[in-house]
């Protein structure tokens, strides 16, 4: 389903976003972090395209795919720990927001919309990235933690909606992966896919996104304008 006529689009007062591939282009940093961590244990590096194909399901999934298949489990865990340790010092040096993201979030907030972040990135990484690149923009932000299970489990999205004082029917979840669309479906929210991230627009349509956009500024057409 898609909504090409902006006038016919449903309106929502709660917008929750995935992070990597949706708000922030983090791939260049993920390549450096992953290959530095692999090389520390004498493991072969991966190409940018390979690492691109591994992202979207959190750091653990990324590392488990990046190490050679016959890697000892203990070594894999050590690579994972090195990755997390490095993240705190070099994790965001090459990261940047996608075009028009910051202005769009500000416009949504001017329209009275509540905004949040829900990511499969580990929670400390989410907080660090949001604080550095999107400071003061979001009302809530969560990553994977003991309390927030991985998407497409809807628990984190439902918790974020509750923290924003909203409900699923008033909420849109925005992400760049089929898993994000499944998360929205599981939580009962509207689902918007973004075609500028780590998955193609066709993949998002096949996942049955309610809409797929190619420019962040399109998002405001799903928000009420309290200034009118």
Bridge partners of 142? 118
* Residue written as token pair 């530095």: 36
What would you report as the CA-atom Rg of the chain, rounded to the nearest whole angstrom?
18
DSSP 221: G
The neighbouring-strand residues paired with 16 are 116, 173
Structure tokens at 6: 């902006």
- Nearest CA to 80 out of 123, 37, 44 is that of 37
Strand 96-97 with 171-175, pairing: unpaired
**Which strand (E) or helix (H) includes residue 48?**
helix 48-54
Task: Check if 5 is active-site.
Answer: no
- The active-site residue, picked from 18, 29, 176, 210, is 18
Q: Which residues pair with 226 in a beta bridge?
A: none
What are the residues whose beta carbons fall under 8 Å from the beta carbon of 126, sequence distance 6 or more?
A: 19, 117, 119, 141, 142, 143
CA 144/CA 43 separation, integer angstroms = 27
Q: Please give the positions annotated as active site.
A: 18
């Amino acid at each position: 389903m898609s909504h090409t006529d902006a006038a016919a689009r449903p309106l929502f007062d709660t917008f929750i976003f995935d992070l990597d591939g949706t708000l922030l282009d983090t791939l260049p940093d993920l390549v450096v972090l992953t290959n530095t961590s692999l090389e520390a244990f004498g493991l072969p590096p991966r190409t940018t395209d390979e690492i691109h194909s591994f992202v979207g399901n959190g750091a653990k999934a990324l590392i488990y795919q990046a190490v050679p298949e016959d890697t000892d489990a203990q070594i894999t865990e050590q690579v994972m720990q090195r990755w997390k340790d490095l993240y705190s010092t070099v994790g965001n040096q090459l990261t940047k927001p996608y075009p028009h993201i910051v202005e769009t979030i500000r416009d949504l907030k001017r329209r009275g919309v509540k905004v949040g972040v829900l990511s499969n990135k580990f929670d400390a990484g989410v907080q660090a990235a949001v604080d550095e690149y999107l400071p003061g923009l979001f009302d809530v932000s969560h990553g994977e933690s003991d309390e927030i299970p991985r998407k497409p489990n809807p628990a984190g999205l439902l918790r974020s909606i509750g923290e924003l004082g909203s409900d699923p029917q008033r909420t849109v979840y925005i992400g760049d992966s089929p898993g994000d669309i499944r998360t929205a479906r599981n939580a009962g929210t509207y689902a918007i896919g973004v075609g500028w991230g780590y998955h193609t627009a066709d993949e998002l349509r096949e996942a049955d996104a309610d809409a797929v956009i190619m420019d962040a500024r399109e998002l405001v057409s799903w928000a009420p304008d309290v200034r009118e």
